[in-house]
């Protein structure tokens, strides 16, 4: 690849009048009227005559208005394409899509396009840095190669804090290997996303600081493309970033979250550099922030994470990581209330959190619910004792989860078969709803109790023995 890049550069330089030359897009750091960063990838200034050459257009498969260097001009380009095409293992990590097709023509086309794109990226990066010399090309290649071929990569994970300024001049240490850092204008441009992303691009941009998880490892054994796809759908580090946000929320009293996950590579890079900016890898956009920010929150001033709260943060975070599961559950439920749109859901989340912190298991409530369920479903042919057992077992699992315990046997036995408690709870709820909606009139908890008591009163007890009057009553009454 390095040789192909060098020879492509040499061929281009030795040509005469080449006509129009494609130039790299130029991106600038901007802030909106509310003072929030507003760098968006799809918003760029027109390429100017002295902008660096865009080698990803100049190097291509066939000569044309943009393409000035093709494999027929530079044998090293064709040799590189053939090398990757003929080596299935190399082809797998360099182009995962090409390895998945049985169509030889399609595979060759994909390998050719992707290989030339990578050579162009190497040269474009060198042009942006203002040095197309062999030594600089070698330094850039030394970053590209591990990004493509290393089995494991290392770097820092960045979670820009959405629409909350941080009252700190420098880096805030939350715990060992976890900090809150200001985002430089260069990093802001490098991490910018385009309109059409999963989250509004201006909301993603509107962050002044980021939670940073330092020195993390990333699986790259199947190549950069597979790594990038996996990170898009399953971004790393979310649990710890969420915990930091929960700690901030507890310390400040307001909701905090993030809309993006980025990687700051350590000694490697992908081939999607932006100009001469740091090699920030945009892993994913995510909706892990208060949904109220979607209401054009980037056009409004928001609350500030003040210095006093930052002082409390390390102790609160440490306590959250060591406390029992009940308190951790309560903390998660608190965070979830900010991501709900339904008032009932918010109430339920909050109540579950309160019960997790303060509640105890109410066996008498479980008993009453079990009796009512047995009464309601008996008309549908359910064995009352089985209904009682299923409901109380399901509620028992729910209580254990709410109170932070891990059920030892996460299954429920029904007529000799084992079922998961979640699926059982859903089926039980469905049956209860069906019984409720098909009864005339629909029953209520009170009417179920009355039905049960009426059934007991109408039992044929035969010759019941005489019962002495209770103390303080009239025996004739």
pLDDT at 198 over 70: yes
344-375: per-residue pLDDT in tens?
788 778 877 877 766 655 667 778 888 988 99
Residue 157 belongs to some domain of the structure: yes
Q: Is 263 helix (H, G, I), strand (E, B) or coil?
A: strand
Q: What is the largest CA-CA distance in the chain?
A: 124
Predicted pLDDT at 343: 74
Where are the extended beta strands (E) located within 12-123? none
Could you tell me the two tokens for 440? 């005339």
Alpha helices in 129-221 (DSSP H): 134-149, 185-190, 201-205
Pair (124, 192) in one structural domain: no
pLDDT at 468 over 50: no
Place of tokens 């691009």: 201
Query: Number of folded domains in the chain?
Result: 3
Task: Compute the mean pLDDT over every residue in the chain, rounded to the nearest whole number.
Answer: 87
Predicted pLDDT at 397: 79
| Residue where a domain stops, chosen among 298, 322, 346 | 322
Selected residue with higher pLDDT from 46 and 216: 216
Which region among 2-6, 46-50, 288-292 has the lowest average model confidence (pLDDT)?
Answer: 46-50
Pair (205, 318) in one structural domain: yes
Selected residue with higher pLDDT from 196 and 165: 165
pLDDT-based confidence at residue 471 (cuts at 50, 70, 90): very low
Pair (30, 158) in one structural domain: no
Question: What average pLDDT does range 299-309 have in this prediction?
Answer: 92
Predicted pLDDT at 474: 43
Residue 334 belongs to some domain of the structure: no
Residue 13 belongs to some domain of the structure: yes
DSSP output for 343-379:
HHHHHHHHHHHHHHHH----HHHHHHHHHHHHHHHHT
Core vs surface per residue 381-402: b (16+ CB within 10 A) or e: ebebeebbbbbbbbbbbbbbbb
Pair (157, 138) in one structural domain: no
pLDDT at 335 over 80: yes
Pair (291, 173) in one structural domain: yes
Residue 420 belongs to some domain of the structure: yes
413 beta partners: 418
pLDDT-based confidence at residue 203 (cuts at 50, 70, 90): very high
Hey, which of 8-17, 184-193, 362-371 has the most confident mean pLDDT?
A: 184-193
Pair (299, 186) in one structural domain: yes
Pair (209, 96) in one structural domain: no
Which region among 132-141, 331-340, 459-468 has the lowest average model confidence (pLDDT)?
Answer: 459-468
Beta strand 304-305 with 165-166: parallel, antiparallel or unpaired?
parallel
Pair (140, 205) in one structural domain: no
pLDDT-based confidence at residue 469 (cuts at 50, 70, 90): very low
pLDDT at 158 over 90: yes
User: Residue 428 belongs to what domain range?
Assistant: 363-456
Question: What average pLDDT does range 102-113 have in this prediction?
Answer: 83
% the chain with pLDDT above 90? 51
| Residue where a domain stops, chosen among 322, 350, 375 | 322
Which region among 97-111, 321-335, 370-384 has the lowest average model confidence (pLDDT)?
Answer: 97-111
Predicted pLDDT at 289: 95
Pair (182, 230) in one structural domain: yes
211-257: per-residue pLDDT in tens?
999 999 999 998 888 899 999 999 999 999 999 999 999 998 888 99
Let me know: does 269 contact 144? Beta carbons within 8 Å. yes
Question: What average pLDDT does range 70-91 have in this prediction?
Answer: 90
Pair (145, 165) in one structural domain: no
Return the half-sphere exposure (C-beta side, CA atoms, 13 A cut-off) of residue 149.
11
Which region among 201-205, 255-259, 350-354, 390-394 has the lowest average model confidence (pLDDT)?
Answer: 350-354
Residue 287 belongs to some domain of the structure: yes
Taking the C-alpha atoms of residue 56 and residue 60, their distance in angstroms, rounded to an integer, is: 7
| Residue where a domain stops, chosen among 103, 134, 149 | 149
pLDDT at 422 over 60: yes
% the chain with pLDDT above 70? 90
Pair (186, 243) in one structural domain: yes
Question: Is the peptide bond preceding residue 441 cis, with omega within 30 degrees of 0?
Answer: yes
Residue 335 belongs to some domain of the structure: no
Let me know: does 262 contact 281? Beta carbons within 8 Å. yes
Predicted pLDDT at 467: 43
Alpha helices in 15-74 (DSSP H): 55-58
Pair (48, 168) in one structural domain: no
425-446: per-residue pLDDT in tens?
878 877 887 788 778 888 888 8
Predicted pLDDT at 470: 41
Residue 474 belongs to some domain of the structure: no
Residue 163 belongs to some domain of the structure: yes
Predicted pLDDT at 85: 87
């Amino acid at each position: 690849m390095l040789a192909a890049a060098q020879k492509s550069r040499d061929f281009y330089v030795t040509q005469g009048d080449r006509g129009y030359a494609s130039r790299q897009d130029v991106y600038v750091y901007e802030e909106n009227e509310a003072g929030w960063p507003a760098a968006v990838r799809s918003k760029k200034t027109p390429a100017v005559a002295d902008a660096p050459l865009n080698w990803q257009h100049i190097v291509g498969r066939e000569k044309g208005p943009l393409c000035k260097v093709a494999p027929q001009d530079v044998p090293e380009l064709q040799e590189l394409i053939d090398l990757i095409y003929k080596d299935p293992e190399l082809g797998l990590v360099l182009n995962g899509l090409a390895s998945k097709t049985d169509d030889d023509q399609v595979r060759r086309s994909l390998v050719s396009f992707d290989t030339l794109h990578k050579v162009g990226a190497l040269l474009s990066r060198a042009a942006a840095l203002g040095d197309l010399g062999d030594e600089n090309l070698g330094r850039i290649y030394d970053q590209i190669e591990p990004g493509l071929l290393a089995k494991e990569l290392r770097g820092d994970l960045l979670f820009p804090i959405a629409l909350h300024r941080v009252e700190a001049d420098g880096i805030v240490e939350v715990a060992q290997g976890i900090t809150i850092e200001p985002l430089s204008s260069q990093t802001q441009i490098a991490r910018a996303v385009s309109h059409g992303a999963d989250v509004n691009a201006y909301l993603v941009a509107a962050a002044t600081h980021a939670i940073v998880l330092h020195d993390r490892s990333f699986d790259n054994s199947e190549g950069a493309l597979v790594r990038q796809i996996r990170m898009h759908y399953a971004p790393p580090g979310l649990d710890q970033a969420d915990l930091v946000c929960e700690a901030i929320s507890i310390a400040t009293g307001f909701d905090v979250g993030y809309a993006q996950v980025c990687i700051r590579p350590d000694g490697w890079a992908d081939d999607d550099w932006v100009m001469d900016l740091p090699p920030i890898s945009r892993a994913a956009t995510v909706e892990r922030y208060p949904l109220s920010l979607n209401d054009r929150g980037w056009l409004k001033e928001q609350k500030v994470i003040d210095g006093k709260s930052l002082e409390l943060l390390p102790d609160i975070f440490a306590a959250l990581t060591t406390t029992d599961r009940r308190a951790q559950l309560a903390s998660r439920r608190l965070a979830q209330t900010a991501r709900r749109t339904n008032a009932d859901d918010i109430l339920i989340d909050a109540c579950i959190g309160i019960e997790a912190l303060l509640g105890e298991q109410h066996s008498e409530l479980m008993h009453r619910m079990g009796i009512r369920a047995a009464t309601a479903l008996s008309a549908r042919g359910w064995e009352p004792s089985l209904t009682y057992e299923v409901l109380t077992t399901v509620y028992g699992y729910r209580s254990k989860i709410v109170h932070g315990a891990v059920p030892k046997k996460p299954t429920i036995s029904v007529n000799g078969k084992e079922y998961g408690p979640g699926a059982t709870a859903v089926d039980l709820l469905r049956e209860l709803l069906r019984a409720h909606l098909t009864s005339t009139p629909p029953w209520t908890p009170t009417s179920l109790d009355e039905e049960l008591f009426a059934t007991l009163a109408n039992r044929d007890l035969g010759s019941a023995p005489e019962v002495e009057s209770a103390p303080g009553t009239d025996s004739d009454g």
